[in-house]
Chain A
Amino acid sequence: MIRLHHYELSAECYKVRLLLSMLGLAHETVQVDMYPGAAHLSDSYRRLSPLGRLPVVEDGDLVLDDANAILVHLAASHDPGGTWFARAPGQIAQWLGYGAALAASLGAARLMDCFDTGMDSAPLIARALPILDALDRHLWLEAAEGHFYLCGTGPTIADIACFADTVLAEEAGVALRRYPAVRRWHDRVRMIPGFIVMPGVFPR
Chain B
Amino acid sequence: MLASCIMTRGNDPFIDEQNDPVLLDQWHVVASIAELRRGPVRTILLGRRLTVAIRQDQPVAHHADGAAAATMLHLEYVWVCLGQKPARLFDIPELAEPERRVVHAGSFGVRTSPPRAIENFLDLGHFPYVHKDFLGLEPHTEVPPYRVSTEQDGQELFARDCRFFQPRSAANASEGFIVEYVYRVPHPLCAVLYKLNPLDRDRQDVIALFCQPVGPEQVRAHMLVSLLDDTSDDAELIGFQQLIFAQDKPILENQVPLRLPLSPGAEVPVRADAMSVAYRRYLAALGLRHGVIAA
Q: Which residue of A9, A173, A199 contacts B7 across the interface (Cβ within 8 Å)?
A: A173
B239 proximal to A (CB < 8 A): yes
Q: Using a Cβ–Cβ cut-off of 8 Å, how many residues does chain A contribute to the interface with B?
A: 31
B246 proximal to A (CB < 8 A): yes
- For chain B residues 2-30, which have a beta carbon within 8 Å of chain A? 2, 4-7, 9
Q: Report the bound CA distance from A8 to B242 in whole Å.
A: 8
Encode contact with B along A96-133: 1 for CB under 8 Å, 0 otherwise.
00000000000000000111101000100110010000
Select the residue from A37, A38, A178, A200 with max chain B CB neighbours within 10 A: A37
- For chain B residues 230-254, which have a beta carbon within 8 Å of chain A? 233-236, 238-239, 242-243, 246-247, 249-250, 253
Chain A residues lying within 8 Å of B249, measured Cβ to Cβ, are 114, 171, 199-200
Chain A residues lying within 8 Å of B166, measured Cβ to Cβ, are none
Encode contact with B along A27-46: 1 for CB under 8 Å, 0 otherwise.
00001110111110000000
Q: Report the bound CA distance from A200 to B251 in whole Å.
A: 9
Select the residue from A9, A38, A177 with max chain B CB neighbours within 10 A: A9
- For chain A residues 178-202, which have a beta carbon within 8 Å of chain B? 178, 198-200, 202
A48 proximal to B (CB < 8 A): no
Q: Which residue of A31, A36, A199, A202 contacts B34 across the interface (Cβ within 8 Å)?
A: A36
A116-B109 contact in complex given A173-B9, A175-B5, A200-B250, C-beta closer than 8 Å: yes
B35 proximal to A (CB < 8 A): yes
Q: Report the bound CA distance from A113 to B220 in whole Å.
A: 10
A93 proximal to B (CB < 8 A): no
Chain B residues lying within 8 Å of A7, measured Cβ to Cβ, are 239
Q: Which residue of B7, B9, B35 contacts A36 across the interface (Cβ within 8 Å)?
A: B35
A129-B2 contact in complex given A115-B106, A170-B7, A199-B246, C-beta closer than 8 Å: yes
**Contact: B108 with A37, CB < 8 Å?**
no
**Contact: A36 with B43, CB < 8 Å?**
no
Select the residue from A33, A114, A126, A198 with max chain B CB neighbours within 10 A: A33
Q: Which residue of A113, A129, A198 contacts B5 across the interface (Cβ within 8 Å)?
A: A129
- Nearest-neighbour CB distance to chain A for B54, whole angstroms, equals 16
B42 proximal to A (CB < 8 A): yes
- Nearest-neighbour CB distance to chain A for B249, whole angstroms, equals 7
Encode contact with A along B104-116: 1 for CB under 8 Å, 0 otherwise.
1111110100000
Q: Report the bound CA distance from A73 to B104 in whole Å.
A: 36
**Contact: B6 with A174, CB < 8 Å?**
yes
B73 proximal to A (CB < 8 A): no
| A residues lining the B interface (CB < 8 Å) | 7-9, 31-33, 35-39, 113-116, 118, 122, 125-126, 129, 170-171, 173-175, 177-178, 198-200, 202
| B residues lining the A interface (CB < 8 Å) | 2, 4-7, 9, 32, 34-35, 38, 41-44, 104-109, 111, 220, 233-236, 238-239, 242-243, 246-247, 249-250, 253
